[in-house]
Structure 1
Amino acid sequence: MGDVGMMPLLTALVAAVAIAATVYAFMYPYISADRLKDKRVANVSESRAKTLSVRSAAELAANRKKQVAESLKDIESRQKAKEKLTLSIRLERAGLDIQPRTYWIASAVSAVLCAVLAKSMLPSSASSLAPMLMIAALLVGGFGLPRFVLAKITARRQNKFLVELANSIDVIVRGIKSGLPLNECLAVIAKESPEPVAGEFREVIEQQRVGVSLPEALHRLTQRMPLAEVKFLAIVVAIQQQSGGNLAEALSNLSSVLRDRFKMAMKVKALSAEAKASAMILGCLPPGVMLMVHTSSPEYIAPLFETRTGNLFILAGLFWMSMGILVMRKMINFKF
């Protein structure tokens, strides 16, 4: 009888244990620390996956930019190798409206004047150096001096163009935002901007009137004005013409970049001014001292001009002075 009375109790106990075990089996993943661990591991894995994806996307973008830059550099080097820089192009870049024949006539006149000046300044005691000095004066006056003057005129013109280019781009940006087409904005620049910006953009407008497309006209502008900033402008306009986009915003960003580059150039020029002045003084000091010694006591310095050993010393001094000037020039000219 006692065993029979215990049966319902045992059955209820077994049922309770079974129900508890079932509930525990279902609830174990939610109440155990393993689920929290798995959750943390999943969160960490997900964040790592996101970080890796972001990093891989950034690396892909950087590699793409690097490839594009290398491609542009390769294209530019090929174009430089293909194009031949003729005298007509150099005269056009300098803004000189003359023919190459006029340039060569002026070079010949310059050579004769330099030879006559060198002959008149040569002392009578140094007659043995006269032929060599005349040949050097003819070469310097006929080839060196005209090319130097042409390069200086070109550099001055390009600097003037570069100073006004950012303002001209701002005119384009404001015109586009007000509803004017790009050609009208270029016409405004051609009329109201100072030279040489007005003349170069006037040439672009005239080329468009005879049927040349705007990207091609700007490409010809880069040939007449081979500056990196002008190439930026031509690339931005060419991309907008092909694929569309907000030209005003792109040109506004380009204007900011050009102003920052100009500020950096002025900062570099200011920081290197002292070094350039020191280099000029060091370069002018030896010939200045020689001239003063020759003026005060010509008999003291006469062996340099009258003897072969002295002539060799003069040639060696000129060679080492040239090397020193080139080294100083390399040290004080910065590329940025």
Structure 2
Amino acid sequence: MIALRRRGWPHRLPASGARALIASAITVLASFGTGGVAMAAIAPAPVSLTDITVHGGSLTALLTVRASGTPVSLPAGSVTATVGNADAPVTLQPVTAGRRATTLLVDTSGSMGASGMATVAQAVNAFLASAPPDVLVGLVSFSDRPHALVAPTTDRGAVRRAVASLKSSGETTLYDGIFTAIAQLGTIGDRSFVLLSDGGDTRSRHTLSQAAEALTSSGVRAEVVGFKTDESQDSVLTGLAQAGNGSVASATNPTAVDSAFTAAARALSSQVRVQLAIPKGLSGRQQVTVTAHSGNHYWMAGRTVDLGAATAVDTAPSSAPATPAAAPVAPAAPRAAFSLLGMPWQLAAALAAVFLGVVGLVLALVSPMLKSARTKRVDSIEHYVNGTTPAAQGVPVSPSQLSNTLVELGEKVMEGRESTSRTMALLERADLPWRAGEWAVLRVVAVVVGIAGGLLLLHASTGQMVFGVLAGVVAGLLLPSFILRFAARRRVKQFEAQLPDVLNLVASSLSTGFSLLQALDAVARDAAQPAAKEFSRALAETRIGADVDESLERMAERMDSENLRWTGMAIRIQRQVGGNLAETLRTTAGTLRERESLRRQVRALSAEGKLSAYILIALPIGLFLYMNLVNHDYVSLLWTNLIGIGMLVAAGVSLVLGIFWMRKVVDVEV
């Protein structure tokens, strides 16, 4: 027989029973040394100490036992404790005396599907049926963004109705959902959430490390249910459970999900609030150990508590994170950005934009009416001279007048700018019948649309929204110019391709006895666009007195055609020195065809090099975007770490240099 005395438990057991108990104690001590969580003598049953407060000479904590089967009952005398190396008297208090709240944190992204939503509804019903009636239950879902659907309440019907209306769609914002759940639970009493997710996250504004830190600092307990574990990120779920001083359970089918939710509800029924009398002479950081037993199950939980500052500090490994002893402070769901008059800066900016837009519209509508008496008299004289009827007084301004006002404002902005002449030349070359003011209004509209598109696509965080606004401004400023240059270049290429046939048509007309003007008229009538329109314009200039050489030269400048300049030079020389103009034009057309053939041959030979350049340019950019999508934490080191920022800058410079170098290699002038 072996005598055993342990904290007031005088028993005499048979040798075999003592050996079994000693083996269990060794297991308990081993697990306590590695994480502060004990293992049961028969089956693993982790425990945790949360909601720790120190007041005067006593310490109060909530002991949660997660055991399978029926809820665990811990009667008086089954719980003992030590503070430091001294025994501490334990008093059990009703757990219902304090506030207990839990939030169901549900993944509703597109990966869940309709079957996943049915599983969620069934599991939530099982949880609500097993949870103690005094526990406040809330609901938070997360897909493209987190949504706090139901605040913690004892109305189980409200939670069931909200769960029944959940739909699966969009991306996943797991980490943002954790911040929302922490904020919803508040800072008072025992707080926990039950998370159902596969651990994936595709567009949160927060990171895994930030979510884990928020769980540790807030004291919220995390009960994690890993759904579809074949596709889940187990390390993420385990890290969240450890940071939240909770547990993680794998569930690959609806039955397993129901069991996991039911176990989380029974853990709430297995809670007991313990009050320890702190031994005299102890202060500062002390190890608090609580031991409990029920039947032949034994559990042990330990925390390091600062008795002076009344806060819990974790010195064990990450498997048992620390919980604040004083009323924990839950971080805000998204970190509050700059605010103006109590409102977020995004809302303030939107209201300012709406205000400026309304003011601009009112000014545009009212400005035609705000005319001086002198201006009205001058307008009356002009209307009389021109034979038009003056506008009636008091008639509302029409949309055409508003557009004219905006265009006139654009004309004033474009007037005197160096780029205006180049812009008008491009508009004329692209055959776009726009004025400079209309182009300015179009640029402003493009900037507004770009900003709206950037905010629509990138709105997950403040940084992304700022980047979206900047990207929208850049796109609105550069994209119209790029499209205009592309349209002008495309029309010039069509004109250049038609020019040899046009010259042959003029030569044939000259050979039949037509004059040069008659030959140009045939081109205007029979040639394809854009050659027909341009030669028709040149012919119209000659009919009002311009010389044909000057008309062809202006057409060459307008179309920026080097071939047409050579053609005009050949016609001018022939008219000065004489000769066969038809034969000269045929020779010129043949030369142009040979140059175009050589240009196409060079383009074909350099196509492989250009394709390789495009692939080499797109590969690092595409790989960066893909890695940012599938492993954001890994890629984020490039802009959150000084070395990473240097690498990113070096990579960008190298990419730009490579683009210019490859462009020079494959660009062959003919």
TM-score (norm 1): 0.69
Residue in 2 that maps onto 1:186: 520
Contact map agreement 1:169 1:255 (CA 8 A) in 2:
yes
Residue in 1 that maps onto 2:470: 135
Q: Deviations over 1:150-171 (max 9, x none)?
A: 1111111011111111011001
Residue in 1 that maps onto 2:454: 118
Q: Deviations over 1:46-78 (max 9, x none)?
A: xxxxxxxxxxxxxxxxxxxxxxxxxxxxxxxxx
Residue in 1 that maps onto 2:486: 152
- What secondary structure sits across from 1:195 in the alignment? coil
Q: Deviations over 1:70-123 (max 9, x none)?
A: xxxxxxxxxxxxxx9521111111111111222222222222333333344447
> Cα distance 1:164–1:182, how it changes in 2: closer, same or farther (>3 A)?
same
Deviation at 1:186, TM superposition (A): 0.4
Residue in 1 that maps onto 2:127: none
Contact map agreement 1:128 1:306 (CA 8 A) in 2:
no
Residue in 2 that maps onto 1:249: 583
Residue in 2 that maps onto 1:326: 660
Counterpart amino acid of residue 252 in structure 1: R
Deviation at 1:187, TM superposition (A): 0.4
Residue in 1 that maps onto 2:298: none
Contact map agreement 2:459 2:465 (CA 8 A) in 1:
no
Q: CA RMSD in A?
A: 2.3
Counterpart amino acid of residue 290 in structure 1: F
Counterpart amino acid of residue 107 in structure 1: R
Deviation at 1:310, TM superposition (A): 3.8
Deviation at 1:269, TM superposition (A): 1.1
- What secondary structure sits across from 1:86 in the alignment? helix
Deviation at 1:130, TM superposition (A): 5.3
Residue in 1 that maps onto 2:563: 229
Q: Aligned partners of 1:124, 1:307: CA distance in 2, in Å?
A: 21
Out of 417, 423, 445, the position equivalent to 1:109 is: 445
Q: Aligned partners of 1:325, 1:116: CA distance in 2, in Å?
A: 31
Counterpart amino acid of residue 257 in structure 1: T
Q: Aligned partners of 1:309, 1:113: CA distance in 2, in Å?
A: 36
Residue in 1 that maps onto 2:73: none
Residue in 2 that maps onto 1:335: 669
Residue in 1 that maps onto 2:180: none
Counterpart amino acid of residue 578 in structure 2: G
Residue in 1 that maps onto 2:609: 275
Contact map agreement 1:129 1:305 (CA 8 A) in 2:
no
- What secondary structure sits across from 1:230 in the alignment? helix
Q: Deviations over 1:231-250 (max 9, x none)?
A: 11110111122222110111
Greater percentage in strand: 2
Q: Deviations over 1:252-310 (max 9, x none)?
A: 11011011011011111111111111111111111111111122122222223444554
Counterpart amino acid of residue 94 in structure 1: A
Q: Aligned partners of 2:580, 2:596: CA distance in 1, in Å?
A: 25
Deviation at 1:314, TM superposition (A): 3.2
Counterpart amino acid of residue 112 in structure 1: V
- What secondary structure sits across from 2:668 in the alignment? coil
Residue in 2 that maps onto 1:43: none
Residue in 2 that maps onto 1:100: 436
Residue in 2 that maps onto 1:208: 542
> Cα distance 1:290–1:122, how it changes in 2: closer, same or farther (>3 A)?
farther
Counterpart amino acid of residue 220 in structure 1: R
Q: Aligned partners of 1:285, 1:301: CA distance in 2, in Å?
A: 16
Counterpart amino acid of residue 152 in structure 1: F
Residue in 2 that maps onto 1:51: none
Q: Aligned partners of 1:289, 1:123: CA distance in 2, in Å?
A: 23
Contact map agreement 1:208 1:214 (CA 8 A) in 2:
yes
Residue in 1 that maps onto 2:648: 314
Counterpart amino acid of residue 470 in structure 2: I
- What secondary structure sits across from 1:212 in the alignment? coil
Q: Which runs of 5+ in 1 are unaligned?
A: 1-83
Contact map agreement 2:451 2:472 (CA 8 A) in 1:
yes
Contact map agreement 2:613 2:662 (CA 8 A) in 1:
yes
Contact map agreement 1:169 1:251 (CA 8 A) in 2:
yes
Contact map agreement 1:122 1:130 (CA 8 A) in 2:
yes
TM-score (norm 2): 0.36
- What secondary structure sits across from 2:565 in the alignment? helix
Residue in 1 that maps onto 2:75: none
Q: Aligned partners of 1:118, 1:319: CA distance in 2, in Å?
A: 25
Contact map agreement 1:190 1:201 (CA 8 A) in 2:
yes
Q: Aligned partners of 1:307, 1:103: CA distance in 2, in Å?
A: 43
- What secondary structure sits across from 2:432 in the alignment? coil
Q: Aligned partners of 1:252, 1:290: CA distance in 2, in Å?
A: 55
Deviation at 1:128, TM superposition (A): 4.3
Q: Deviations over 1:165-208 (max 9, x none)?
A: 10110011111111111111100110111100001000011001
For the pair 1:301 / 2:626, whether they are aligned, the reply is no
Larger deviation: 299-308 or 203-212?
299-308
- What secondary structure sits across from 1:259 in the alignment? helix
Q: Aligned partners of 1:121, 1:311: CA distance in 2, in Å?
A: 24
Q: Aligned partners of 1:161, 1:289: CA distance in 2, in Å?
A: 40
Larger deviation: 232-241 or 300-309?
300-309
> Cα distance 1:324–1:119, how it changes in 2: closer, same or farther (>3 A)?
farther
Counterpart amino acid of residue 163 in structure 1: A
- What secondary structure sits across from 2:493 in the alignment? helix
Deviation at 1:217, TM superposition (A): 0.4
Q: Aligned partners of 1:156, 1:104: CA distance in 2, in Å?
A: 23
Residue in 2 that maps onto 1:41: none
Counterpart amino acid of residue 171 in structure 1: L
Deviation at 1:147, TM superposition (A): 1.9
Q: Percent identity?
A: 28
Counterpart amino acid of residue 322 in structure 1: V
Q: Aligned partners of 2:666, 2:520: CA distance in 1, in Å?
A: 38
Q: Aligned partners of 1:282, 1:205: CA distance in 2, in Å?
A: 49
> Cα distance 1:226–1:169, how it changes in 2: closer, same or farther (>3 A)?
same
> Which residues in structure 2 correspond to 1:27-42 (within 5 Å)?
none
Q: Aligned partners of 2:599, 2:626: CA distance in 1, in Å?
A: 38
Q: Aligned partners of 1:163, 1:324: CA distance in 2, in Å?
A: 32
Q: Aligned partners of 2:559, 2:655: CA distance in 1, in Å?
A: 34
Counterpart amino acid of residue 529 in structure 2: E
